[in-house]
C-alpha cells in the first residue's frame, strides 16, 4: 500500500515538474508556420481600422498577444531599418495617408534585398496594432505587422 | 505691390516653419523590472513619435503588443487581461510639451536637457507626468533619450497574489530612445 502511494506521488511530481519545465521553456509562436487568418490588400486592412477601430481590434487582436497572422498584399512605399537592424517595409498606396508597416526579423531580413520601392509584394506576419489618425495629436499611425516574411 | 509680395512671402515661410515636424515610426522603448526572484526585460522597436520644435509639442504612441519578452509565457501573461490587457488597450500614449523648448537649438549640434510635462495613458488610465528628456542634435539628426519609473498600480495594474506578485517589481523602469527624422 505504502509503495503504491509513493509511486503515485513520484508520478504526480514528475508530471508537475515536466509541466513547469514546459511552461518555462515554452517557445514563442512560429508566425511563418501558423496558418494565415486572412489574405488582404493593405488599403482594405487600414480602412477596417479607420472605419471601426473597436470592431477591428476585436477581430484581429488576441487577449494574450497571439494576434492574427495575416498575408498582406500591397505596393512598397518605403524600405528602412529599425534600431535593432530589422528591415521595415511599408505597404501603402500613393493615394493613402497610412499603410501597413511590416517588420522583418534578423533571419528574414535578406528577403528584403530582392524588393524595391514601387514593387507589388505579398507579406506574411502577425498584426500588433491597427491604423489610427489622431487629428488633435497630428499623428498618423500605420498598421503594425511584425515577424514578417515575403510570400512567393 | 512690393508689400503684398513681402506679406505673401512671410505667410509662405511662416507656414513652412510651422509645419516643421520631426517624427519617427521606429522608436525603441524598453521596460525593466527587477526583483530578488528575477529580472524581466522587454523591448519594443515600434514607437511612433512626433516632436514639433516650434511649439515644443511631444507625442508618442506605443503599440503594446510589440513588446518582446525572452520567455513566451511572460509575454502571454503581460498581454493578458490580468495585466496590461493589450486587446482592450492596444496602445499607450503620451501627449505633452517641452516647457523649455526655447533652450534647445535644433539647428546646432549639442546635448540639451528638456523638461517634458504632459499626460501619459497606459492601460486606459491617464496621469499627469513630468520627466526629463535628453535631446541630442548631431549632424542634423535629433535624438530623444529618457529614463523614468512607472508605478504599475498608478495605472491600475495590480497583482496581489501568486508568482507575479513576487516576480514583477511594483515599479518598472522605462527607457526610451526616439530617433527622429524630418
pLDDT in tens, chain A (152 residues): 678 889 999 999 999 888 888 877 788 999 999 999 999 999 999 999 999 999 999 999 999 999 999 999 999 999 999 999 999 999 999 999 999 999 999 999 999 999 999 999 999 999 999 999 987 677 889 999 999 999 98
Segments making up each domain of chain A, as ranges: 38-150
Interface check B79 vs A, CB under 8 A: yes
Domains of chain B, with CATH numbers?
A: 21-180 (2.40.128.110)
- Per-residue pLDDT tens over the stretch B116-174: 999 999 999 999 999 999 999 998 899 999 999 999 999 998 877 777 777 888 899 99
Average pLDDT of chain B to the nearest whole number: 88
Nearest to B118 by CA among B137, B134, B136, B94: B94
Side-chain-side CA neighbours of A131 within 13 Å: the count stands at 24
pLDDT at position B160, please? 72
Yes or no, beta carbons of A129 and B66 under 8 Å apart: yes
What ipTM does the predicted assembly reach? 0.87
Q: Which helix (H) or strand (E) holds B18?
A: helix B2-18
Which set of grid coordinates corresponds to residue A101?
508597416
For residue A24, the chain B residues in CB contact (below 8 A) are 71, 73
* pTM as predicted: 0.86
pLDDT at B16: 39
Identify the closest residue of chain B to A82 by CA–CA distance.
Answer: B26
- pLDDT over 90, % of chain B: 69
pLDDT > 50? residue B180: yes
CA dihedral B146, B47, A125, A78 (to 10 degrees): -120
Dig out the grid coordinates for A74 from the structure.
500591397
Please give the interface size between A and B, counted as residue pairs whose CB atoms are below 8 Å apart. 96
Burial category of A27 from C-beta neighbours within 10 Å (exposed 0-12, middle 13-18, buried 19 and up)? exposed
How far apart (Å, rounded) are the C-alpha atoms in residues B21 and B54? 8
Write down the pLDDT at residue B12: 47
Cell numbers given for B168: 514583477
Question: Does B2 have pLDDT greater than 80?
Answer: no
Q: Within an 8 Å CB–CB cutoff, is residue A87 touching chain B?
A: no
Between CA A51 and CA B177 the distance in angstroms is 32
Shortest distance, CA B48 to any CA of chain A (angstroms): 7
A 101-140 residues with CB < 8 A to B: 101, 103, 128-130, 132, 136-139
Tell me the CATH number of domain A38-150, given options 1.10.540.10, 2.40.50.140, 2.60.40.1840, 3.40.630.10: 2.40.50.140
CB-CB under 8 Å, B179 with A65: no
Amino acid at each position: 500500500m505504502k509503495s503504491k502511494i509513493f509511486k503515485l506521488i513520484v508520478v504526480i511530481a514528475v508530471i508537475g515538474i515536466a509541466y513547469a519545465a514546459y511552461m518555462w521553456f515554452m517557445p514563442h509562436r512560429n508566425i511563418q508556420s501558423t496558418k494565415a487568418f486572412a489574405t488582404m490588400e493593405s488599403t482594405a486592412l487600414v480602412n477596417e481600422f479607420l472605419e471601426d477601430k473597436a470592431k477591428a481590434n476585436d477581430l484581429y487582436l488576441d487577449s494574450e498577444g497571439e494576434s492574427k497572422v495575416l498575408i498582406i498584399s500591397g505596393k512598397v512605399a518605403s524600405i528602412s531599418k529599425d534600431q535593432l537592424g530589422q528591415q521595415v517595409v511599408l505597404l501603402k498606396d500613393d493615394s493613402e495617408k497610412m499603410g501597413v508597416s511590416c517588420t522583418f526579423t534578423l533571419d528574414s531580413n535578406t528577403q528584403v534585398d530582392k524588393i524595391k520601392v514601387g514593387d507589388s509584394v505579398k507579406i506574411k506576419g502577425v498584426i500588433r496594432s491597427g491604423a489610427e489618425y489622431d487629428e488633435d495629436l497630428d499623428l498618423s499611425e500605420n498598421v503594425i505587422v511584425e515577424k514578417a516574411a515575403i510570400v512567393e | 505691390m512690393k508689400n503684398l509680395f513681402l506679406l505673401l512671402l512671410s505667410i509662405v515661410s511662416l507656414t513652412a516653419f510651422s509645419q516643421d515636424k520631426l517624427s519617427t515610426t521606429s522608436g525603441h522603448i524598453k521596460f525593466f523590472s527587477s526583483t530578488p526572484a528575477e529580472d524581466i526585460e522587454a523591448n519594443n522597436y515600434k514607437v511612433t513619435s512626433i516632436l514639433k520644435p516650434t511649439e515644443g509639442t511631444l507625442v508618442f504612441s506605443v503599440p503594446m503588443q510589440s513588446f518582446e519578452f525572452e520567455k513566451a509565457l511572460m509575454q502571454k501573461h503581460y498581454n493578458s487581461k490580468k495585466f496590461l490587457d493589450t486587446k482592450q488597450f492596444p496602445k499607450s500614449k503620451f501627449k505633452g510639451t517641452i516647457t523649455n523648448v526655447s533652450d534647445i537649438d535644433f539647428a546646432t549640434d549639442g546635448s540639451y536637457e528638456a523638461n517634458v510635462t504632459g499626460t501619459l495613458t497606459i492601460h486606459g488610465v491617464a496621469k499627469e507626468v513630468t520627466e526629463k528628456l535628453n535631446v541630442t542634435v548631431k549632424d542634423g539628426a535629433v535624438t530623444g533619450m529618457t529614463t523614468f519609473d512607472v508605478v504599475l498600480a498608478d495605472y491600475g495594474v495590480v497583482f496581489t497574489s501568486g508568482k507575479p506578485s513576487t516576480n514583477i517589481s511594483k515599479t518598472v523602469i522605462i527607457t526610451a530612445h526616439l530617433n527622429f527624422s524630418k
